[in-house]
Amino acid sequence: MTNPHSHLPSPSHQLPPDTLPSLIAFRRDLHQHPELAFNETRTAQKISEYLTSLNIPHKTNIAQTGIIADIPGSNPNLPAIALRADIDALPIHEQTNLPFASQTSNVMHACGHDGHTTILLAAATILTNQPPLPTPVRLIFQPAEEIAAGAKAMIEQNALDHVALIFGGHLDRLYPAGQIIINDGPVNASSDTFKINITGKGGHAARPHEAVDAVIIGASLVTAIQSIISRKLDPTHPAVITVGRFDAGTKHNIIAESANLAGSIRTLNPKIQSTIHIALQQICDAHANLHNAQISLDIEHGSPALINDPQLTFLARNAAARTVGPENVKPMANINMGAEDFAYYLQHIPGCYVRIGAAFPDRDNPPAHSPTFNINEDAIPIAASYYATLTSLASQNIAAEN
């Protein structure tokens, strides 16, 4: 990989100043018109119009509402470098009081995807205003990240064909605009869902010995499940199990015959993930035997853990240092136990995913998925410059290796 201290003779990777106002207006327009997963039709139309203005060839209606755009390279035989942005919003009623707040009731860009989309278009603007790179650059505008379905759908629609590497990033209110946060290895957790169905034997509240109480079994299961984290796992490996739903019973004086539990499993390590799955089944089987009940466990795999490639993380740090200065390239303070479906791309090709500082100075910065969430738009040209610099470095490396 390129030496981070070497000089890179290249055109400027800065966004032309006269293009920034139109890009900010583009982001605010998206923010006013958010669309939920797989319904991003207006968003896709606006992206397509912008790509057309840049004369970038692209295909629409990929995985329903996604777009794949290709900036040609000087050597068409080389594989492409991909940059990805997610484009969907969330089912949240906005309470920011911004002049460009959502005009759609109960739908809001509360996770910065309007910013991600704009950043990718800004990066495309930079790349099309300089000589072609050796490799093609593929722009992936992906729907449905919030339901962890878009990346898989885009991959199934050949978004990664002839692509060697992929890069992405997420605006983050925990870090100020002007910082880029990069970690080796795991940066987001896997996310699995589990459902437990308990079937006991109903009865009268006054005669519990004649019944098999599904509430008692469920309550015991909730407690036992927490012991997986505290007693089954190495405490140096982060993991979370949450029981988020417990439904049982119909009346105060009836012993419940059935109960249903549902929850979430978050891990950073596939081996730990497997250990938790096995332990959950063992606990369910043991409780079924102990209480003479029927207990079924269903585990649905969600997004895998997002694990950055070490070499490409090195390259990303290089690009970030050139963009914001080495003093503003920071490690993540705490690993994010939330899921990110960018991880699906990394199951197919190497890549690196970073956090991009987008906090406002000297004010509260509400968390993502909050009705008062907003991003500092100063982050947009910074992130675009980072993407352009990173793509240039990666393209040179691919050309040198081929």
Q: Which CA distances in Å does 314 have to 258, 309, 311, 393, 396?
A: 53, 9, 5, 11, 15
> Alpha-carbon torsion 358, 361, 367, 369, what sign?
negative
Q: How far apart are CA 87 and CA 31, in angstroms?
A: 11
Q: How far apart are CA 135 and CA 75, in angstroms?
A: 6
Helix axes 41-53, 113-128, angle to 10 degrees: 20
Active-site hit among 86, 94, 145, 341? 145
Contacting residues for 288 by C-beta, under 8 A, at least 6 apart: 294, 295
Active-site hit among 40, 86, 88, 192? 88
Q: How far apart are CA 156 and CA 367, in angstroms?
A: 32
Long-range CB contacts for residues 358-365, cutoff 8 Å, separation at least 24 = 358/112, 358/115, 358/171, 358/172, 358/173, 358/175, 358/177, 359/172, 359/173, 359/174, 359/175, 359/176, 359/177, 360/177, 361/176, 365/173, 365/174
Taking residue 270's Cβ as centre, other Cβ atoms within 10 Å add up to: 12
Secondary element (H or E) of residue 172: strand 163-176
Q: How far apart are CA 232 and CA 361, in angstroms?
A: 42
Whether residue 88 lies in the annotated active site: yes
Residue 347's identity, in one-letter code, is: Q
Whose tokens are 């309470």? That residue is 95
Catalytic residue positions? 88, 145
